[in-house]
Amino acid sequence: MRCPFCKSDESRVVDSRAFDDGLGIRRRRECTECGRRFTTTETSVLDVVKRSGVTEPFSRAKVVSGVRKACQGRPVGDDDLALLAQQVEDILRASGQAEIPAMEVGLAILGPLRELDEVAYLRFASVYRSFDTLEDFEAEIALLRAEGDPIGQEPDVAQGAARRTSGTGTT
Ligand SMILES: [Zn+2]
């Protein structure tokens, strides 16, 4: 590992520490040439296996670009998307697999996206899970409603309230 100060290739490790529950190692190094210290991190590369069989490193940027389209016109900012990509990576790393099928990356996106924005979630899910009939959408929306409504509340009342709130806008 080249010293970032003097570009020497010689350094020695003075400290090693695990981080992220052992998923990575952070090393403190001292350059044997100039004596300055710097830090390196080591993590296993998370590989994504595409349908074609080609393997490529997991990329948060790709998650963001994949989801951005579904979020068009929705109140979702770049920070939200960055956080979502981080959550997706955490989910995939926690699965303990070294190679993740591309399909599973999409599935890992669904949960955090649903938390973020239900409309964006429906758009993304419609492509991802190949909704091709109106019934597919209705079933998914019914599921969202069922899970979103507090127990014991009349669905009609909740919907009416939501409509009133969005109708008046901010006051
Ligand atoms: Zn140096």
Residue-wise pLDDT tens digits, 53-84: 999 999 999 999 999 999 999 999 999 999 99
| Spacing, Cα 25 to ligand 1 middle (Å) | 21
| Spacing, Cα 2 to ligand 1 middle (Å) | 8
According to DSSP, the residues that pair with 49 across neighbouring strands are 55, 101
pLDDT in tens, 14-31: 999 998 777 789 999 999
| Spacing, Cα 17 to ligand 1 middle (Å) | 22
Question: Tokens in use for 11?
Answer: 């350094």
| Spacing, Cα 38 to ligand 1 middle (Å) | 9
Give Cα separations from 4 to 24, 28, 34 (angstroms). 21, 13, 11
According to DSSP, the residues that pair with 31 across neighbouring strands are 11
| Spacing, Cα 47 to ligand 1 middle (Å) | 33
What percent of the chain clears pLDDT 70, i.e. is strictly above it? 86
CA–CA dist 76, 25 (Å, integer) = 33
Nearby residues of 46 by Cβ (< 8 Å), 6 or more positions away: 57, 58, 89, 92, 93, 98, 100
| Spacing, Cα 41 to ligand 1 middle (Å) | 18
pLDDT: which is higher, 106 or 158: 106
CA–CA dist 117, 71 (Å, integer) = 8
| Spacing, Cα 39 to ligand 1 middle (Å) | 12
